[in-house]
Amino acid sequence: MVISLNRRSKIALTVALALGLTACNDAQSKTDKPASTEAAVINTTPNKAQAIAFINDAEAKMAELSIESNRAEWIYSNFITDDTAALSAAVGEKVSAASVKFATEAAKYANVDLDPVNARKLNILRSALVLPAPLDPAKNAELAQISSELNGLYGKGKYCFADGNCMTQPELSSLMAESRDPVALLEAWKGWREIAKPMRPLFEREVELANEGAKDLGYANLSELWRSQYDMKPDDFSQELDRLWGQVKPLYESLHCYVRGELNKEYGDNIAPTTGPIPAHLLGNMWAQQWGNVYDLVAPDNADPGYDVTELLAKNGYDEHKMVKQAEGFFTSLGFAPLPESFWARSLFVQPKDRDVVCHASAWDLDNLDDIRIKMCIQKTAEDFSVIHHELGHNFYQRAYKQQPFLFKNSANDGFHEAIGDTIALSITPSYLKQIGLLEEVPDASKDIGLLLKQALDKIAFLPFGLMIDQWRWKVFSGEITPAQYNQAWWDLREKYQGIKAPVERSEADFDPGAKYHVPGNVPYTRYFLAHILQFQFHQALCETAGDKGPVHRCSIYGNQAAGEKLNKMLELGLSKPWPEALKEVTDKEAMDAKAVLDYFAPLKTWLDEQNTAANRQCGW
Ligand code: X8Z
Ligand code: ZN
């Protein structure tokens, strides 16, 4: 997977060894000196050579361990059984012990004056952990086991309806997307959340152990550690998020107001009232995180573009493989090399009928070189066509930075990794669909509001969701939210940020956060909020590079090699530079800025406000 240091893979071995040798020779010459007062001082105060030797050794060991870990995790996620869970836990324990050992040791060199590359690597060794185990080996083993078990509980999750029909997560998600029957929607919504109840004690213990691990490493708690991974102070990062959210909040509120009003027309006052938070089961998505699936319910009367990508895919005989091939074609049109044969042979595209797999889409880099793959239970829908681009964005990023040393084989910050495929998917415009033969006629400019509304239902609706998950987790980690308040605090934040409420009463017997993959999976979520800002910055800048003169929501960079080159310049940096420098490669700016989001949706914002005023809607909740 692309997720963290604990879940990555092996380095270009030659690079690691070369670095390791240089440092080893250097360190060797120091220790070979006859004992003297000077040598004694060197022994107690670590010097530069010792620090570099440590970094190189740690980097090589982590690189090696990552291959073993990736293989075990790949097999576990593709074949969930008690045995593969045990193997996953065992390797997790090894990786965790090594990364905690190196992170602890790295602290010893904190005051050594190092060159920027090694200083950065040292910092990565110290802080790039998402599930730090306590130093106590028994607790490390316990944490690894809990982590595997939580993943398995999510992957194996099913809900069986009264008629005996059992559904997995992708099947329940399709129902949530397609059904307009509030009773069926409610049952699927409630049913899926049953799978999370048994996670609660495990999650509580996981938090306890990982917090202890974070403290062992010198952080106040796991929240501080997670927020330390953005080339700035943790509290400054929190403020940065507030700033970005402040920029987009008025747009979200206009959208919320409009959608709530339209849902009321469909479902009536009892099910979808015109005031207060929107019931979470009516928005076309299991978590009410993206609302594009209810576009048909809220589409503008005169500005609907008149096509549906799901239908176009079906009409043109697209199966799962063809959908991925088409997405690959976008990347190659920008100048990226095609995916290797092994990608096609080893990826999982279709949900197997005969076994439990983790269906949540992911991209993997098994050997940190060329063995890239995706694992996804693809549905033949517009939504999953986008998700495929998202996943391939990870794979093309991984391949672009494969020449970097292991510790820099990652994105500039985690939001960048999540933004690349989405940036490409923003170029799936009507003219692109025409170019690839899916669409016959490009709708004229009078249909722009429809196009923008569809996009906003996914991208703008997502923003507060992308933010609130870690607002909840950070408070859980810091102890501000206690286990007795897990579910109530979750819904308080859902209401505060999203203006969404549970459709039925919930209690502390429920554990609704566990019904979202990234909570049992321990994947930080703020990355997706950042990605939803960054992708608009990237898209705007790349369209400019491509010389596109039209409105940015009509721009597609398909086939533009200059845009591809610029993008690649940023991607190949990996994590070797602070993220503002990487950002500058594409955007010429060093700050994240939601202005690009506001520019993109400017005509829609005006239209939404007009609609809300005309309908005399009381916005807010
Ligand atoms: O988890 C994902 C990707 C894999 S990194 C499919 N996403 C978030 C989600 O599904 O909740 C992409 C958008 C947000
Ligand atoms: Zn992703």
Residue 513 in this model has a pLDDT that exceeds 90: yes
For residue 107, the surrounding DSSP H or E stretch is helix 82-108
Q: What is the pLDDT of residue 44?
A: 65
What is the CA(531)–ligand 1 centre distance, in A? 10
Q: What is the pLDDT of residue 14?
A: 26
pLDDT > 70: what percent of the chain? 93
**Closest ligand 1 atom to the C-alpha of 466?**
14
Query: ∠ CA 26-28-31 to the nearest 5 degrees?
Result: 120
Residue 49 in this model has a pLDDT that exceeds 80: yes
What is the CA(378)–ligand 2 centre distance, in A? 15
DSSP 541-595: HHHHHTT--S-GGG---TT-HHHHHHHHHHHTTTTSS-HHHHHHHHHS-SS--TH
Nearest Cα residue to atom 14 of ligand 1: 528
Rounded Cα–Cα distance for residues 335 and 478 (Å): 46
Testing ligand 1's pocket by substitution, the residue of 358, 360, 388 carrying the most ligand atoms inside 8 A of its CB is 360
* Spatial contact of 552 and 539, defined as CB atoms under 8 Å apart: yes
- Number of helices and strands (H, E) in the chain? 24, 6
Q: What is the pLDDT of residue 18?
A: 26
Question: Measuring CA to CA, how many Å separate 610 from each of 98, 278, 387, 427?
Answer: 58, 21, 32, 28
What is the CA(612)–ligand 2 centre distance, in A? 34
Query: ∠ CA 417-168-272 to the nearest 5 degrees?
Result: 85
Nearest Cα residue to atom 6 of ligand 1: 361
* Spatial contact of 127 and 334, defined as CB atoms under 8 Å apart: no
Residue 262 in this model has a pLDDT that exceeds 80: yes
Testing ligand 1's pocket by substitution, the residue of 286, 390, 516 carrying the most ligand atoms inside 8 A of its CB is 390
Secondary structure letter of residue 497 according to DSSP: I
The 10 Å CB-count burial string (b at 16+, else e) for 562-600 is: ebbebbbebbbbbbbbbbeebbebbbeeeebbbebbeeb
**Closest ligand 1 atom to the C-alpha of 362?**
4
Query: ∠ CA 574-578-580 to the nearest 5 degrees?
Result: 105
Please work out whether the CB of residue 390 comes within 6 Å of at least one atom of ligand 1. yes
The mean pLDDT value for 305-320 works out to: 97
Q: What is the pLDDT of residue 5?
A: 39
Place of tokens 């509290």: 235
Residue 404 in this model has a pLDDT that exceeds 60: yes
Please work out whether the CB of residue 362 comes within 6 Å of at least one atom of ligand 1. yes
Catalytic residue, chosen from 418, 461, 553, 582, is 418
Summarize pLDDT for 357-392 with one digit per residue, the tens: 999 999 999 999 999 999 999 999 999 999 999 999
Rounded Cα–Cα distance for residues 430 and 305 (Å): 9
Give catalytic status of residue 394 as yes or no: yes
Nearest 10 degrees: CA dihedral of 432, 433, 437, 439?
-140
What is the CA(360)–ligand 1 centre distance, in A? 8
What's the token pair of residue 538? 């990237």
- What confidence category does residue 43 fall into, taking pLDDT thresholds of 50, 70 and 90? low
Whole-model pTM: value is: 0.93
**Closest ligand 1 atom to the C-alpha of 376?**
6
What's the token pair of residue 83? 């045995």
Residues with CB under 5 A from ligand 2 (ion): 418
What's the token pair of residue 475? 């408070």
For the chain, the domains span 4-231
What is the CA(391)–ligand 2 centre distance, in A? 6
Q: Which residue has the higher pLDDT, 45 or 193?
A: 193
Q: Which amino acid is at 518?
A: H
What's the token pair of residue 13? 């071995």
Rounded Cα–Cα distance for residues 281 and 185 (Å): 6
Summarize pLDDT for 518-565 with one digit per residue, the tens: 999 999 999 999 999 999 999 999 999 999 999 999 999 999 999 999
Residue 36 in this model has a pLDDT that exceeds 80: no
Summarize pLDDT for 118-142 with one digit per residue, the tens: 999 999 999 999 999 999 999 999 9
Nearest 10 degrees: CA dihedral of 200, 202, 205, 210?
-110
In 3D space, the residue among 467, 486, 453 whose CA is nearest the CA of residue 553 turns out to be 453
**Closest ligand 1 atom to the C-alpha of 289?**
11
Residue 213 in this model has a pLDDT that exceeds 80: yes
Residue 13 in this model has a pLDDT that exceeds 50: no
* Spatial contact of 586 and 570, defined as CB atoms under 8 Å apart: yes
Residue 573 in this model has a pLDDT that exceeds 80: yes
Rounded Cα–Cα distance for residues 550 and 22 (Å): 53
DSSP 222-240: HHHHHTTSSSS-HHHHHHH
| Orientation of helix 448-478 relative to helix 595-614, angle to 10° | 110
Q: Minimum mean pLDDT among 2-6, 41-45, 165-169: which range? A: 2-6
* Spatial contact of 296 and 455, defined as CB atoms under 8 Å apart: no
Q: What is the pLDDT of residue 31?
A: 32
In 3D space, the residue among 306, 435, 327 whose CA is nearest the CA of residue 378 turns out to be 327
Question: Measuring CA to CA, how many Å separate 24 from each of 29, 360, 405?
Answer: 9, 42, 17
Please work out whether the CB of residue 290 comes within 6 Å of at least one atom of ligand 1. no
Residue 343 in this model has a pLDDT that exceeds 90: yes
- Please report which ligand is nearest the Cα atom of 420: 2
- What confidence category does residue 46 fall into, taking pLDDT thresholds of 50, 70 and 90? confident
Give catalytic status of residue 360 as yes or no: yes
Summarize pLDDT for 416-465 with one digit per residue, the tens: 999 999 999 999 999 999 999 999 999 999 999 999 999 999 999 999 99
What's the token pair of residue 362? 């992911």
pLDDT > 90: what percent of the chain? 92
Rounded Cα–Cα distance for residues 579 and 598 (Å): 22
Q: What is the pLDDT of residue 17?
A: 24
